[in-house]
Amino acid sequence: MPAMTVKPRTARESKRNRRERAGQILAELARLYPDAATELDFETPFQCLIATLLSAQATDVSVNLATPALFAAYPDAHALAAATPEEVEPYIRTIGLFRSKARNAVATARLLVERHGGEVPGTMEELTALPGVGRKTANVVLANAYGVPTIAVDTHVGRLARRLGFSEQTDPDKVEADLKELLEPDDWIFAHHALIFHGRRVCHARKPSCAACTLCPLCPSCGKV
């Protein structure tokens, strides 16, 4: 349990205190989840992009069950670009929204071939120009495939950021900006993964396990959600 040297956030918490509290929370998260990393399986930036596209509104487990056969059949952008969405659908039928995801995956692969020689680009602007790729997906790819310091805000990161008093925003882009202002760039990728780990294991959306949460002394929402 971390020492409670900084009081949990109140409306009047200073920026300095919030930063210090965030540092203590990150230290506790590092103790809890030293190996926090993406739970999606992939080997290349292309596979990272496709797996991330498929994971929207679906579990990582369901994506990981489908991608070995998908990537064996379509190992790179050139192979997937030559397929039709109907040919791809059977590989991802067990994943939610598989029809639109098959369409987006093939369209994305074709654009990768047309614009980027089959490679996945490494900038936010180029990534978000791809079909079905929003800021969150682009941030995941930048961080996980290329190690670019950034914070992808998914449902877990957004919820945790608000409960921990790091942000009052509901717009993921604004939460991302709040987190980036609060945390050091070197901690951004870890913070993203660790908040997801904690959100999946302890700070659940409907019923957070505050009684078992070692962040409680540092969390303004402890016992109040």
Q: Which residues are catalytic?
A: 136, 154
- Residue 142, interface with ligand SF4 (CB under 6 A)? no
Give the SS3 label for residue 106.
Answer: helix
Q: How far is the CB of 193 from ligand SF4 (least distance, A)?
A: 16
For residues 220 and 216, give the distance between their C-alpha atoms in angstroms, rounded to a whole number.
8
Q: How far is the CB of 149 from ligand SF4 (least distance, A)?
A: 24
Q: 158 or 208: whose CB is closer to ligand SF4?
A: 208
- Residue 193, interface with ligand SF4 (CB under 6 A)? no
- Chain centroid to CA 152: 5
Residues 6 or more apart from 13 whose CB is under 8 A from it? 7, 21, 165
Q: 50 or 160: whose CB is closer to ligand SF4?
A: 160
DSSP label of 168? -
Residues 202-221 that bind ligand SF4 (CB under 6 A): 202-203, 208-210, 213, 215-216, 219, 221
Using alpha carbons, select from 100, 53, 43 the residue that is nearest to residue 75: 43
* Contact string 147-186 vs ligand SF4 (x = CB under 6 A): ----------------xx----------------------
Q: 10 or 117: whose CB is closer to ligand SF4?
A: 10
**21 and 8 in contact (C-beta within 8 Å)?**
yes
- Residue 36, interface with ligand SF4 (CB under 6 A)? no
The residue count for the chain: 225
- Residue 123, interface with ligand SF4 (CB under 6 A)? no
What are the angstrom distances between the C-alpha of 18 and each of 61, 158, 182, 196? 35, 17, 8, 20
Residues that bind ligand SF4 (CB under 6 A): 163-164, 202-203, 208-210, 213, 215-216, 219, 221-222, 225
